[in-house]
C-alpha cells in the first residue's frame, strides 16, 4: 500500500515563482525524505526531516512536517528551469523501526518554464 | 566519485531468457536495494540487503532473485523474464539502511521484455 502520496501530480510554473508540493502518509513515521528525479536519471536525495522536527531548510528548499495531519510539504523558492524534475517523498514504517525499507510516493512532476 | 553503477542501462530481450542486471557501489555501504518504477505506481521495492549474505523481500519480489556475496555488488536476476517485468529498475544503497540516512541511486536500467 502507498505510504506517501504527493499532490499535485503535476505542477507548471514560471521561472522565479515558488513551487509547493505536498505529501501525505497514512501511518506514523520516524523520518521523511524528499528526492528529485531528473528525466532519465536516478533519484537524488534532497532533504530529510525527522518526526520531531517541524521545519527544515536547505538552500532554496524548505520542508515542513505536520505529524498530526500526517503531511509534509516541499517548497522550492525562486524556481529555475533546472528545477524541472519529478519530486518524491519517502517515508519509513515508523513505530520505532528505523531500518529497512522506504516507501516512495508517486511523485509530483514539476515543470519550470524559462 | 561516490556512485552506484548499474549495467546495462538499456536491454531489450525476449520472454524466458535469463538475464542479470548488475549493481555496484563504491561507498562501502552495508544496505542495498532494488526498485522498479512504473507509471502510476511509483517506485516499488523488489528486494533489499542489510549486509553481505543478508537479503529480504520487498513489496514485489515475485519473479526476481538477488544475491549479496560481496559488499559492493547486488545483482538482480530474472530467471525467466515475462512481459510484465518490463520496467525501469533502480539500484540504491545507503550506509546502514537506517531511515535517517539518504539512499544513493544508480541511473536506472530500462528493461523491455518482448
3-state secondary structure labels for all residues of chain B: CCCEEEECCEEEECCCCCEEEEEEECCCCCEEEEEEEECCCEEEEEEEEEECCEEEECCCCCCCEECCCCCCECCEEECCCCHHHCEEEEEEEECCCECCCCCEECCCEEEEEC
Per-residue confidence band for A1, with pLDDT thresholds at 50, 70 and 90: very low
What pLDDT does residue A5 have? 80
What pLDDT does residue B83 have? 97
What pLDDT does residue A6 have? 84
Spans of chain B below 50 pLDDT: none
Q: How far is A97 from chain B (nearest CA, A)?
A: 9
pLDDT, greater one: A99 or A93: A93
Cβ distance of B98 and A45 shorter than 8 Å: no
At B88, list the grid cell: 525501469
Residue of B29, B30, B42, B89 for testing the chain A interface, max A β-carbons within 10 Å: B42
Is residue A111 less than 8 Å (CB to CB) from chain B? no
Is residue A96 less than 8 Å (CB to CB) from chain B? no
Is residue B75 less than 8 Å (CB to CB) from chain A? no
Cβ distance of A106 and B58 shorter than 8 Å: no
Amino acid at each position: 500500500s502507498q505510504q506517501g502520496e504527493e499532490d499535485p501530480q503535476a505542477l507548471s510554473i514560471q521561472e522565479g515563482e515558488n513551487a509547493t508540493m505536498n505529501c501525505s502518509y497514512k501511518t506514523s513515521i520516524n523520518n521523511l525524505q524528499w528526492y528529485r528525479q531528473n528525466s532519465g536519471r536516478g533519484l537524488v536525495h534532497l532533504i530529510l526531516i525527522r518526526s520531531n522536527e517541524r521545519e527544515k531548510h536547505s538552500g532554496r528548499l524548505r520542508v515542513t512536517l505536520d505529524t498530526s495531519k500526517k503531511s509534509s510539504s516541499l517548497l522550492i523558492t525562486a524556481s529555475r528551469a533546472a528545477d524541472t524534475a519529478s519530486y518524491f517523498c519517502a517515508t519509513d514504517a515508523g513505530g520505532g523501526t528505523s531500518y529497512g525499507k522506504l516507501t516512495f510516493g508517486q511523485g509530483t512532476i514539476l515543470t519550470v518554464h524559462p | 566519485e561516490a556512485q552506484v553503477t548499474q549495467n546495462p542501462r538499456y536491454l531489450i530481450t525476449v520472454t524466458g531468457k535469463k538475464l542479470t542486471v548488475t549493481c555496484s557501489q563504491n561507498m562501502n555501504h552495508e544496505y542495498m536495494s532494488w526498485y522498479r518504477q512504473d507509471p502510476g505506481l511509483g517506485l516499488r521495492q523488489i528486494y533489499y540487503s542489510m549486509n553481505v549474505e543478508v537479503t529480504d523481500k520487498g513489496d514485489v519480489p515475485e519473479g526476481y532473485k538477488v544475491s549479496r556475496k560481496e559488499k559492493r555488488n547486488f545483482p538482480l536476476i530474472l530467471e525467466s523474464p515475462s512481459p510484465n517485468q518490463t520496467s525501469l529498475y533502480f539500484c540504491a544503497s545507503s550506509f546502514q539502511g537506517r531511515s535517517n540516512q539518504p539512499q544513493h541511486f544508480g541511473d536506472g536500467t530500462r528493461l523491455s521484455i518482448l
